[in-house]
């Protein structure tokens, strides 16, 4: 016998333990108040015994699926951001085409005097001048239609060891992984982030430790989990879009994206895929470029204020 169907309390009685277990196995909990992500506490009482257990109430999300196709061109889009460095960009594109003749390349460009960049399967987006590093990344990522994108700086150069397929293999083999980086020249750049939650009014502290990682990924001895990586990485498009790049940060702030993604993005660093830096390319606007690129004291103070307000941080420690 049952009493209380579709009410907040349900009573079940039976003289048969088998029947009681049968009915308990078919009890359904339904929330009467719509919410996309909340919970409740269920209480089960039997004689002098009481058990409490949480119930998650969550609206399921629609899956985001991509047609992986049969080759790298339908799996990955290469994206970059450029500013006043067309000589570097030209070398980068030629090196990409040497190894990947048809892969799509997306360029976000906020140069003050933009030049034409054309070629098969190249999308060149002109932005208002000086919008900055993260605004350009947001624009480029917004136009990606493949499951993955490969982020590269405009002064990189592809080599025979820049094997995108190897990073795709890692990402496909570890479905929960969101970002997988390689090495620039022979150096792996990565760091861990540790958040120490403080008092509500005072804010917390974030510690960033360079050359620090957590552990090797089981089954993938050349990859380790970490919190943040260098500007050469393969990423799941939908995961990065959920985090985004803060357009308030205009200068080179590689750490901030991974700070915003802490607790959301699972990141790995791998040492079996590499890309090189250009060493012989020159830029006639190099002085102007450095003035825009390198953060000054005012930029640092602005970033500290942003962290205090947006992230409720009273301190960020680097080590």
**pLDDT tens per residue, range 87-97:** 999 999 999 99
Which tens digit of pLDDT belongs to each residue from 178-203?
999 999 998 899 999 999 988 777 88
- The model's pTM is 0.87
How high is the pLDDT of residue 261? 95
Between CA 167 and CA 217 the distance in angstroms is 14
Which tens digit of pLDDT belongs to each residue from 224-278?
999 999 889 999 999 999 999 999 887 766 789 999 999 999 999 999 999 999 9
Spatial neighbors of 122 by CB under 8 A, at least 6 apart, are 93, 104, 105, 106, 107
How high is the pLDDT of residue 253? 67
How high is the pLDDT of residue 252? 63
Between CA 58 and CA 66 the distance in angstroms is 24
Q: How far is the CA of 3 from the CAs of 10, 16, 46, 271, in angstroms? A: 6, 17, 15, 63
Domain boundaries, the chain: 2-58, 72-318
* CATH number of the domain located at residue range(s) 72-318 in this protein: 3.90.550.10
Whether the CA torsion 46, 48, 49, 50 is positive or negative: it is: positive
Between CA 78 and CA 122 the distance in angstroms is 10
How high is the pLDDT of residue 230? 85
DSSP the chain: -EE-TTSS--EE--S-HHHHHHHHTT-----SS--SEEEEEEEEEETTEEEEEEEEEEPPPPP------SSGGGTEEEEEEESS-HHHHHHHHHHHHHH-SS--EEEEE--SS------TTEEEEE-STT--HHHHHHHHHHT--SSEEEE--TTEE--TT--HHHHHHHHHHSTT--EEEEEETTB--EEEEEEE---TTT-EEEEEEET----EETTEEEEEEESEE-S-EEEEHHHHHHH---TT--S--HHHHHHHTTTT--EEEEEEEEEEE-SS---TTHHHHHHHHS--HHHHHHHHHHHHHHS-EEEEEE-
Q: How far is the CA of 259 from the CAs of 179, 228, 279, 291, 310, in angstroms? A: 14, 8, 31, 25, 11
């Amino acid at each position: 016998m049952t009493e209380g169907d579709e009410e907040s309390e349900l009573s079940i009685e039976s003289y048969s333990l088998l029947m009681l277990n049968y009915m308990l196995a078919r009890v359904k909990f339904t929330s009467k108040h719509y919410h996309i992500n909340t919970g409740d506490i269920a209480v089960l009482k039997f004689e002098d015994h009481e058990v409490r257990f949480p119930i998650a109430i969550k609206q399921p999300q629609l899956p985001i699926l991509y047609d992986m196709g049969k080759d790298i061109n339908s799996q990955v889009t290469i994206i970059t951001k450029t500013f006043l460095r067309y000589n570097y960009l030209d070398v980068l594109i030629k090196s990409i085409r040497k190894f990947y003749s048809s892969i799509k390349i997306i360029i976000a460009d906020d140069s003050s005097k933009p030049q034409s960049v054309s070629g098969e399967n190249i999308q060149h987006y002109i932005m208002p001048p000086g919008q900055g590093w993260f605004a350009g990344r947001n624009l480029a990522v917004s136009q990606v239609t493949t499951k993955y994108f490969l982020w590269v700086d405009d002064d990189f150069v592809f080599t025979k060891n820049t094997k995108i397929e190897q990073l795709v293999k890692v990402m496909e083999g570890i479905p929960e992984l969101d970002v997988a980086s390689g090495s620039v020249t022979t150096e792996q750049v990565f760091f861990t982030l540790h958040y120490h939650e403080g008092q509500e009014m005072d804010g917390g502290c974030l510690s960033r430790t360079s050359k620090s990682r957590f552990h090797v990924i089981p089954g993938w001895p050349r990859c380790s989990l970490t919190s943040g990586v260098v500007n050469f990485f393969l990423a799941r498009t939908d995961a990065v879009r959920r985090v985004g790049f803060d357009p308030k940060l205009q200068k080179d702030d590689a750490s901030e994206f991974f700070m915003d993604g802490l607790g959301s993005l699972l990141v790995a660093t791998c040492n079996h895929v590499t890309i090189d830096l250009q060493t012989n390319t020159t830029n006639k606007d190099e002085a102007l470029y450095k003035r825009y690129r390198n953060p000054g004291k005012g930029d640092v103070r602005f970033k500290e204020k942003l962290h205090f307000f947006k992230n409720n941080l009273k301190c960020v420690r680097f080590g």
